[in-house]
Amino acid sequence: MSPIDAPTPYASAPLLRATGLTKAFGAHEVLKGFDLEVRRGEVVALIGPSGSGKTTVLRSLNGLETPDAGVLAFDGGPVVDFANLGDRRSADRSRRKLRDRSAMVFQHHNLFPHMTVLQNVMEGPVQVQRVPKQRAQEEALALLDRVGLADKRDAYPFQLSGGQQQRVGIVRALALKPDLLLFDEPTSALDPELVGEVLSVISELVAEGWTMVIVTHELAFARQVADEILFMDGGVVVERGVPSQVFTAPVHERTRRFLDRILRPFE
């Protein structure tokens, strides 16, 4: 696979199946039995109010958070049963295996401030995947060129706009050549005039067939690119369906109230 090509979609078993994920922080239950299936080439958008558990879902899929129970199964492995992780070493291995299959784009970029743009993009392939530096650099430069940032290769994050930093964050995820891309509200920290440049890059990735789970408050964008919408509230999936159904004819009253508040706030 070249550094800018998506994995080839195929219709068979789901690439990812999450079953019964639960997570509590102290007495606060953040996830109360979350289920998800994602097939190769599909885009799933998670929408809902703040605090509904969306980010915890993404962090669980990527091994950054450890659910209390439930199963995550990638096609071809790993299969992680969170209720039976064993000792700490086994749990760490399971989390690393999850990160081998996915890559995450964070809300606040999370670039290493002491590294140049090129070094940020190369860090994962070289240090984690043991890709030879020369090859990692060639692939990183191709990706930066693809998002219009080749001339920023030697810049540091503080020298970039928010939109440029987020595009570097996307390139950094692509450099790992993951099966699954995870986006955690990728535009919420940006000035409104910079949102479009980031959504444009994501739209191109959708058109190329990348498999994605996107947490977003950009509902018009979610309606445009997603194959399935999941509306979450209170740690559960209240409603799921294709965008045309969820946005125009939601079944649940809670979904209707949320959409009315977001889409028609001044009516």
Cα–Cα distance, 102 to 97 (Å, whole number): 9
- Confidence (pLDDT) at 265: 58
The string of DSSP letters for 140-158 reads HHHHHHHTT-GGGTT--GG
Report the pLDDT averaged over residues 66-84: 94
List the domains of the chain with CATH numbers.
16-263 (3.40.50.300)
Angle ∠(46,243,197) on CA atoms, nearest 5: 65
Report the pLDDT averaged over residues 249-266: 86
Helix axes 162-175, 192-208, angle to 10 degrees: 20
Helix axes 162-175, 133-146, angle to 10 degrees: 130
Q: Any bridge partners for residue 237, and if so which?
A: 232
Strand, helix or coil at 74? strand
- Confidence (pLDDT) at 12: 63
pLDDT in tens, 122-165: 999 999 999 999 999 999 999 999 999 999 999 999 999 999 99
Report the pLDDT averaged over residues 233-242: 96
Cα–Cα distance, 47 to 255 (Å, whole number): 10
